[in-house]
Structure 1
């Protein structure tokens, strides 16, 4: 597949039709916003997820990833599909991998 055909997926264009690169963000950032929006205490979230509060902080900071197990627990806790959490994590991981590859080559 050529580069042009492969770049048609998830493309965002400006007014002139030029592709705009969108910075992906770690799903932990979204998780933090969701918890704050719902006024849930972080210590209660950590307890519900059966993780240490420090680990939750690391997820918020993008230092720990959303695993399949954690995604299932988040679905139960927040009612947001585990597919959503895993998809967001995968998109972030791919974004980082592409960025690193571009720097190398």
Structure 2
């Protein structure tokens, strides 16, 4: 079993927040110097939808993950894994606050 606990130098728990994969996507295309309109076109989505992904307001689907793999050469499993971890983090936080 994998332990997602993170400790500081004193051995105290550090709470981390999940990052939406859109943040990583934005970082990746900025690093590569790719225009956002070109990314949206290559992924067959509207530029507005791409902006919503960057903002974490729209999730990365399996279909989009496959397109990202084809366009960026980064595994679709990577993108879906990030999305799943983000979704689980949110679900657990909601369950704790219920």
Range class of TM-score, shorter chain: over 0.9
> What corresponds to 1:32 in structure 2?
26
Q: Which has the larger radius of gyration?
A: 1
TM-score between both structures, scaled by the size of structure 2: 0.95
In the alignment, the residues of structure 2 paired with residue 41 and residue 99 of structure 1 have an alpha-carbon distance, to the nearest angstrom, of 35
Give the alignment of 1:23-102 within 5 angstroms.
23-102=17-96
Q: Provide the aligned C-alpha RMSD in A.
A: 1.2
List structure 1 runs of 4+ shifted beyond 6 angstroms. none
Structure 1, unaligned stretches of length 5 or more?
1-5
Give the alignment of 1:2-41 within 5 angstroms.
9-41=3-35
Report the number of matched residues.
98
Higher relative contact order (CA 8 A, sep 6+): 2
In the alignment, the residues of structure 2 paired with residue 13 and residue 100 of structure 1 have an alpha-carbon distance, to the nearest angstrom, of 23
Structure 2, unaligned stretches of length 5 or more?
none
TM-score between both structures, scaled by the size of structure 1: 0.89
